[in-house]
Amino acid sequence: GVFCMPLYIPYALTGTWHLGRSLCKLWLVMDYLMCTASVFNIVLISYDRFLSVTKAVSYRAQQGIMSSSAIKMVTIWVLAFLLYCPAILFWEHVAGHSVVAVDQCYAEFFNNWYFLLCASTLEFFVPLLLVTYFNVHIFHNIQRRQRRGSVQDCESPRSSSSLSWRFCGLPRPGASSPSSEAEDSVSSLTRSWRPAVVANGPSRTETSSTALKRNFSASFCSKTSSKLLRDKKIAKSLAIIVCVFAICWAPYSLLMIIRGACQGKCIHSSLYEATFWLLWINSSLNPFLYPLCHMRF
């Protein structure tokens, strides 16, 4: 948005491109690349939050692997480049001629309906389906954990056999497997509250065991509740990003397909150009919206 809007304003006001064909190509490449990468990054963030909420143990195990995150980010930018940029740079050479006037600046495929349909599907509709899928599963996971927690409140267990399973809605073995975040909490807290050997008689051993149970239960409940609240905040923040993305991109994607089908005769140019600004505004807002999901973004 910061790069594309200043160059587009004079072009939109005068209707003429005065900066030459080379700068036009650069402007188009940057425009399509940045906007597409912005969409793909939303998918990547949604997938990252999906793993964080639904597969907490395996997700945390991979947090120290920097190469994995770097590969994902590089892949996003490579895919974003391949979607539009080769067509922008080489379309006229493959076709053998250019359909763009010397004093104009737009992509050669601007009115090619088949290319626009395929590109918009990969750029908007597929990402929209993916982020919707991830968000639905995140909300479903949070609701399931809330229902499970409401059935059995966090209370001190009455017997040692119920120590690891009766509080905070954690299911017993054999009934259903506990959630990954619950397993993670149990393993970490078990390490933290591992009892020492007591050699001063059964009464002190029993007292120590009872205190251990209370501390274990309180700590586990506190950690589980904190994780649930954090995941709910992540889900709400991610929903905001996805809604902004859908609102800003839907008009452009739909009008692009319709305009390509009718060769630009059924959509007024001013209406179509207005959708450009929605894309640039969305790309400009995303860097400020990403930290809502996670500070490391």
Residues 66 and 188 in one domain: no
56 and 139 part of one domain: yes
- Residue 57, in any domain of the structure: yes
With respect to residue 143, please indicate whether it lies within any of the assigned structural domains. yes
> How far is C-alpha 14 from the chain's CA centre?
39
Residues 200 and 88 occupy one common structural domain: no
Considering the domain architecture, whether residues 159 and 25 belong to the same structural domain is answered as: no
Query: Which pair of tokens denotes residue 294?
Result: 């996670």
Domain presence at residue 227: no
Residues 6+ apart with CB under 8 A from 46: 130, 131, 134, 135, 238, 242
| Co-location of 165 and 280 in the same domain | no
pLDDT of amino acid 151: 47
Domain count, the chain: 2
Residue 207 sits in which domain range? 154-171+178-222
24 & 128 share domain: yes
Q: What is the pLDDT of residue 291?
A: 67
pLDDT digits (tens), the chain, 297 positions: 667 778 888 888 888 998 889 999 999 999 999 889 989 988 998 888 888 877 866 676 666 665 677 888 899 999 999 999 999 999 999 888 888 888 899 899 988 888 999 999 999 999 999 999 998 888 888 777 776 655 444 444 444 444 444 344 444 444 444 444 444 444 444 444 444 444 455 554 545 555 555 555 555 455 566 666 766 777 777 788 888 888 888 888 888 888 878 877 777 778 888 888 888 888 777 777 766 555 554
Assigned domain for 216 exists = yes
Check residue 228 and give its pLDDT: 64
pLDDT given at position 192: 46
Helix and strand tally (H, E) in the chain? 9, 0
Give the span between the Cα atoms of 125 and 87, in whole angstroms. Answer: 20
For residue 139, being part of any structural domain is answered with yes
Report the pLDDT value the prediction gives residue 221, as an integer from 0 to 100: 56
How far is the C-alpha of 244 from the C-alpha of 172, rounded, in Å? Answer: 41
Q: Are residues 39 and 87 in the same domain?
A: yes
pLDDT of 255: 87
What are the structure tokens assigned to 250, written together? 């839907």
Q: Determine the 3-state secondary structure of 297 from DSSP.
A: coil
DSSP state of 15: S
The 3-state DSSP class for residue 156 equals coil
Same-domain pairing of 20 and 47: yes
Within a domain: 254: yes
Instruction: Please indicate, yes or no, if residue 39 is contained in any of the structural domains.
Output: yes
Please report, to the nearest 10 degrees, the dihedral formed by the alpha carbons of residues 95, 96, 101, 105 taken in order: 50
Which pLDDT score, from 0 to 100, does residue 51 have? 84
Q: Does 61 share its domain with 182?
A: no
Of 130, 134, 27, 125, nearest in space to 84 by CA: 27
Is 260 in the same domain as 285? Answer: yes
What's residue 62's pLDDT? 67
Task: Please indicate, yes or no, whether residues 80 and 211 belong to a single structural domain of this protein.
Answer: no
CATH of the domain at 281: 1.20.1070.10
Indicate the Cα dihedral angle 263, 269, 271, 274, nearest 10°: 120
Based on the domain organization, do 61 and 145 belong to the same domain? yes
